[in-house]
Amino acid sequence: MVDSFSSAAPYSFEIDGKPYTLPGLSFGDIDTVADAMSGDVGEQLKAARAILFSRADKRTIDAIKSLGVGALGNLFRKWAGVEPGDLSSSPEPSAPTDAS
């Protein structure tokens, strides 16, 4: 018998009441996320922004650009399923849409 696996579930969220979706992160993204979370707050935000923008479509990027610093960091942590210093958790695939 062959097991079937799918890639990580997309992450859905809202900005100003409008829905957006980011592609799910895979096991291969762990090092990228770990690096993003390892620096000081300024470095974390720059890395989070770069990672988000590299994976989002133009509409989602435009919406993310409207976020403040705290909301950007919060969005990244929820999408990646981690808190600073914690790479053991992952987002729930069936989690309801998060308002940011």
CA distance readout (Å), 20 to 32, 43, 92: 22, 25, 17
- The more confident residue out of 44 and 97 is 44
Which residues are CB-neighbours of 78 under 8 A, at least 6 positions away?
Answer: 11, 13, 91, 98, 100
Pairwise CA distance, residues 69 & 91, whole Å: 21
Q: What single-letter amino acid sits at 69? A: V
pLDDT digits (tens, 9 = 90+) for 21-73: 999 887 778 788 888 778 888 888 888 888 888 889 999 999 999 999 889 88
Pairwise CA distance, residues 77 & 79, whole Å: 6
Give 2's pLDDT tier (boundaries 50, 70, 90). low
pTM to 2 decimal places: 0.68
Cβ atoms of 12 and 100 closer than 8 Å: no
Q: Where are the domains of the chain?
A: 26-91
